[in-house]
Structure 1
Amino acid sequence: MNIPSTIWTLLVGIVLTAASFWLGQNHGLLPTAASDEAFLVDGLFNTMMTVSVGIFLIVEGVLIFSAIKYRRRKGDDTDAEPIHGNVPLEILWTAIPAIIVLGISVYSFDVYNEIGGFGSHAVHESPIAPQATSMPGAAIAATLDDASDVRNIDQLPDTENAPGTGIVSPSLGATPENQGTQPDLVVKVTGLQYAFLFNYPESGVMTGELHVPIGKEVYLDMTANDVIHAFWVPEFRLKQDLIPGRQTELRFTPQVAGDYKLICAELCGPYHGAMNATVVVQTPEDFDNWIKEQQVASKETFNQAVAVNPAEQSADEFLAHYTSEMGISSEMLHQIHN
């Protein structure tokens, strides 16, 4: 029984469509989707995979079919039938890719806008109010300048380079329902060669590890202290640059508990590959407990530093024991201060 070519075309089309949809949704190429924004990006990626798999199967299928069916037969030395082109077919295979590219472009724009890509272009004030922070070990370092006052060093190293200059790029991660609202958690992020520093202004905690609670919108106010860095967590599907002298921002809502790797995605120097940190997504209860632990640890470190170096000791006197072991004389230390 001869099956009409139209039926074969229909059957092949159904099989290719089913295979494209299945592979496009079950490719397993992406890491865990750990934020609300990740699901939007994954939808776009899966759509592109579906279209790409369909085009690949059609093109490769036609090539293989043509190579087999129209191969030169043994003993056949005749010339092939001359073909002068097919204008309607050329228009068709030009129009279809153009429509696909246009559709993906519109979809991409919509996703970018959904995660706040065009939510804020103008320079504006950060919601973070200037506030002193606490960092373990900072009090001891203060004795180099003033042994009797450790408060002056309790600030991020970028405050002189980026004095509230606002943002130079759109806010990423603020979904439409969250745009214009106050975030649940504010964290100030500073990038420097080769580490990230995280400052929690509301609690006065500074750390090298980012902790965020599940289901709470997190606002990151970011800047760099030296060169351009980038904040990129693959599981969040969001990336934002940290720029010296400027402030950029990123908003996201984590949804899956776990430890995730924060990667600097901008070449920032010879040790760029080692610049990473850990992002810990935890329950709100565990996050509150972690904040309290950091506050207690910072306070204990501060008290120990004050106890070790009473106010009546000068910086030279306090450091004399340590510098003598390092072979540094008091005259050399005095020259450093001057």
Structure 2
Amino acid sequence: MGSPGPPSCPPAASGPRVRLVVTGDDFGYCPRRDRGMVEAFLAGALTGVSLLVNGASADAAAQLARRHRIPAGLHANLSEGRPLSPSLGSESSLVGPGGFFLGKMGFRKALAEGRVALGEVREELRAQLRRFLDLLGHQPTHVDGHQHVHVLPGVRQVFAEVLQEHGVRYTRVPVEFGLRRCEWLEPRLRAFALAVEEDARAAKEAFEELGLRWPDAYIGLSTMGKDMSVGRIEAAIDQAVQSVLGPGDIQQGGRAITLELMTHPGYPSESPTSGCGEGPDAFSQSWERLHELQILLDPALHNFYRQRSIKLCAFEDF
């Protein structure tokens, strides 16, 4: 983990000892997406989920997580749907017309212009953690950010403080080795991914100071939707291991390291039973979610895990 150090794990037969967390984001967004994630978990392709507590199917998703004992974290949301805090009315800096959050880029613009009240961010994060506790009966195994809002300037400090208040130890730091060499990314997505990575690097200090931990390496900005393939996941894992350990450690078996693969699998969303109050976005309605599910279930990927002695696990296993 990023701080204070990686957990130990049983020695592998050969090569470095690698633990891989495969997280399904946006659990609770819609029943069809949730069904796909449950299938992936039961097949051993997914090791946990991040729950959108203001999602259209959050209640049913929480029931699925309890029934199948799926490790669940909170997908902290400040950009899509409506806030949960009762103290945030129509005049809140976090919402626009209709009482909805400002959107992925709208929130970032408002934050950069100094129009976001960080006290309201704190209230909303606390409200979402309370809702998670109500739904699941326990604190989340980890908390990350929907559309990576948790690493943004100002938000990152509040986020870390609120997690510390609630005793949550694990989060996500979306810094991906080799991201700049991923030429397949469309220019718009590439620019967003690089901006996320820059913010994530800057967030490490605040997270570390307040005792948060995260895997040694992250994968997901370069392998989302249509950009996901078995070969790219394999290459990203190998790149991450090499970057964390170095050639000498790899040859000698090295120390144990941890990785997180962020995913968004499921079946395409359908209106009106999906989204966060505004209906599903285009990505959720496309074939790309199903494509991710199929890749994660591909036997070739699981053969790769076995060949590399990669142990799949959840945050709660650390």
Rg comparison, structure with higher value:
1
TM-score, normalised by the number of residues in structure 1: 0.26
Greater strand share, structure number: 1
